[in-house]
Amino acid sequence: MTFSLKPLSCDPARIKGMSERLIASHYENKSGGAVKRLNLIEVSSPASTMNEKTVHLDIRSGHMKWITRERVKVDRVACPWLIKKFVDKDAEFFFVPADKVSDEAKRLNAISYDVKGVELGHHGKECSFEAILKKYKLTADPALVLLGKIVNGADTDNTLYQQPEGPGVEAVAEGFRHLGFKDDHAQNAAEWIVYDALYAYCREMVWQGKPNGDFAH
């Protein structure tokens, strides 16, 4: 079964005291996101479900475990934000020394990301955020695609898209590293508001017909 987003049951232009665009945007964001997640659920036999769906599942709690390198900066903050928002709301994250990621991933039965040689890592000039967008079929959201370009510009040499917002995001990310957070979990919790704001910016740019951002040449 394929789910689709139905039109609003009312005319937002006739609601006094509220922006028509704000109402439509909120509806598309909340309801549209739910529809996309429903369409990601694959109907399969019990055997294939066991093989494909429970590989990284913690049976005691039902959430997925995700692991990457410690000392986060750009991708390792943006990716957890993306995962928590659009992939796995109950995700549990682990940050460990780079040389221990592989062993700890096996021990914890966790999904590795932003690590060399893994599926959810850098491929060519694309960053890990973009790998997650593709893996979990999130590229239908043009705002997330634009956000991926911005993250890429902040996390790489920015030669793929020459995204103007990239260096500013990198500067903010570097600043968060020097605010004295006790660990990577605390830094992520504090810094996710930046990606909330960036996603809101990207949605607005798409709304205005600027899918490459406000500063693209």
pLDDT digits (tens, 9 = 90+) for 97-127: 999 999 999 999 999 999 999 999 999 999 9
Alpha-helical runs (H) found in 83-210: 101-108, 128-135, 142-155, 166-177, 184-207
* Number of residues assigned to the chain: 217
Note the pTM of the prediction, 2 decimals: 0.72
In a domain, 28, yes or no: no
Q: Partners of 126 in the beta sheet? A: 123
Q: Please give the pLDDT value at position 46.
A: 39
In a domain, 39, yes or no: no
Q: Are 5 and 31 in contact (CB under 8 A)?
A: yes
Q: Are 26 and 131 in contact (CB under 8 A)?
A: no
Tokens of 12: 């937002």
Confidence at 42, pLDDT banded by 50, 70, 90: very low
pLDDT per position as a tens digit, 51-60: 333 344 443 3
In a domain, 25, yes or no: no
Given a cut of 90, whether residue 161 has pLDDT beyond it is yes
Domain span holding position 139: 53-207
Q: Are 107 and 152 in contact (CB under 8 A)?
A: no
Across the chain, mean pLDDT equals 84
In a domain, 216, yes or no: no
What's the CA gap between 81 and 83, in Å, rounded?
6
Give the mean pLDDT of 4-8.
64
What's the CA gap between 213 and 143, in Å, rounded?
9
Give the mean pLDDT of 158-174.
97
Given a cut of 70, whether residue 11 has pLDDT beyond it is no
Q: Please give the pLDDT value at position 63.
A: 78
Confidence at 16, pLDDT banded by 50, 70, 90: low
Number of folded domains in the chain? 1
Q: Please give the pLDDT value at position 164.
A: 97
What's the CA gap between 129 and 131, in Å, rounded?
5
Q: Are 144 and 138 in contact (CB under 8 A)?
A: yes
